[in-house]
């Protein structure tokens, strides 16, 4: 299976929605549920469910984080959600899953400030941190609350927490595999549909950790047309 560039990632989603009629909310649900299963398997090796903090940024990567949190709660994990933006800014599928989390009574904390100490305080005590801050479309260095969150995640990881990246570690360039600025160092990355081009570059594994390719329900005929089977 070949790896995907940033533009190809967008094209897979677009074609699945426009040509095959798959609603984006279904793709997000599949992505989040299957990513949660990967984390649950990794966390469950110790024989117990782990406390998990899910850090959500703006956009669909944050939406994936809400889905992951819901499924981890259903699997018995103690889950907290940290949101690095104003929830009113979510749109489309991400907004739907944010509302589901709110109405489900999930523990949601807003940290839309560039304060690494505040982030570190909320992250401390987690066995696993889910990095759902930035996605494959990111092209510039993280700033503000996202940069603060990344700094805190890396600090808490150094103290013993493990980090689970959603699609790719926040701050890593999808195509080059190099940090754009502050960058999460993950122990495990659950990436959607296929590996990303940058993952194959020397040194990228320092940031991705072990990479698991996660199915999101894209039709096989579309995957075959892209050389992904």
The closest of 109, 19, 32, 112 to 75, measured between CA atoms, is 32
What pLDDT does 45 receive?
59
C-alpha span between 50 and 39 (Å, rounded): 10
Task: Please name the residues in contact with 99: beta carbons below 8 A apart, sequence gap of 6 or more.
Answer: none
The total number of structural domains in the chain stands at 1
Q: Where are the alpha helices (DSSP H) in 44-143?
A: 59-74, 92-103, 116-123
The answer to whether residue 228 sits within a structural domain is no
The answer on pLDDT for 25 being more than 60 is yes
CATH of the domain at 93: 3.40.50.10260
The answer to whether residue 76 sits within a structural domain is yes
The answer to whether residue 41 sits within a structural domain is yes
What pLDDT does 46 receive?
52
Cβ(31)–Cβ(216) under 8 Å? yes
Per-residue burial over 148-163, b = 16 or more CB atoms within 10 Å of its CB, e = otherwise: bbbbbbbbbbeeebbb
Q: What is the pLDDT of residues 104-144, one digit of tens each?
A: 999 899 988 889 999 999 999 999 999 999 999 999 999 99
The answer to whether residue 225 sits within a structural domain is no
The answer to whether residue 36 sits within a structural domain is yes
Stretch 214-229: mean pLDDT, rounded?
93
Domain interval for residue 184: 6-218
The answer to whether residue 229 sits within a structural domain is no
Q: What is the pLDDT of residues 76-106, one digit of tens each?
A: 999 999 999 999 999 999 999 999 999 999 9
Question: What angle, rounded to 10 degrees, do the helices at 59-74 and 92-103 form?
Answer: 30
Question: Quick one: what percent of the chain has pLDDT higher than 70?
Answer: 98
The answer to whether residue 226 sits within a structural domain is no
What pLDDT does 112 receive?
81
> Which range has the worst mean pLDDT, 14-28, 40-54, 173-187?
40-54
What pLDDT does 44 receive?
77
17 versus 50: the higher-pLDDT residue is 17
The answer to whether residue 107 sits within a structural domain is yes
Q: How confident is the model at residue 175 (pLDDT cuts 50, 70, 90)?
A: very high
Q: What is the pLDDT of residues 43-55, one digit of tens each?
A: 875 556 789 999 9
What pLDDT does 117 receive?
95
């Amino acid at each position: 299976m070949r790896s995907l560039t940033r533009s190809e990632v967008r094209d897979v989603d677009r074609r699945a929605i426009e040509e095959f009629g798959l609603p984006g909310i279904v793709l997000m649900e599949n992505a989040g549920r299957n990513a949660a299963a990967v984390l649950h398997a990794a966390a469950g090796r110790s024989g117990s469910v782990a406390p998990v903090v899910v850090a959500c940024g703006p956009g669909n990567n944050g939406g994936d984080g809400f889905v992951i949190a819901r499924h981890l709660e259903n699997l018995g994990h103690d889950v907290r959600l940290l949101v690095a933006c104003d929830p009113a800014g979510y749109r489309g599928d991400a907004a739907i899953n944010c509302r589901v989390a709110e109405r489900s009574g999930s523990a949601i904390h807003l940290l839309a400030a560039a304060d690494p100490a505040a982030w570190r305080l909320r992250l401390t005590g987690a066995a696993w941190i889910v990095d759902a801050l930035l996605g494959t479309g990111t092209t510039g260095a993280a700033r503000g609350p996202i940069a603060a969150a990344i700094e805190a995640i890396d600090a808490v990881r150094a103290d013993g927490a493990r980090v689970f990246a959603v699609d790719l570690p926040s701050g890593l360039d999808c195509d080059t595999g190099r940090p754009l600025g502050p960058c999460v160092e993950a122990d495990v990355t659950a990436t959607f549909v296929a590996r990303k081009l940058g993952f194959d570059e020397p040194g990228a594994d320092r940031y991705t950790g072990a990479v698991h390719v996660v199915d999101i329900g894209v039709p096989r005929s579309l995957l075959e047309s892209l050389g992904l089977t």
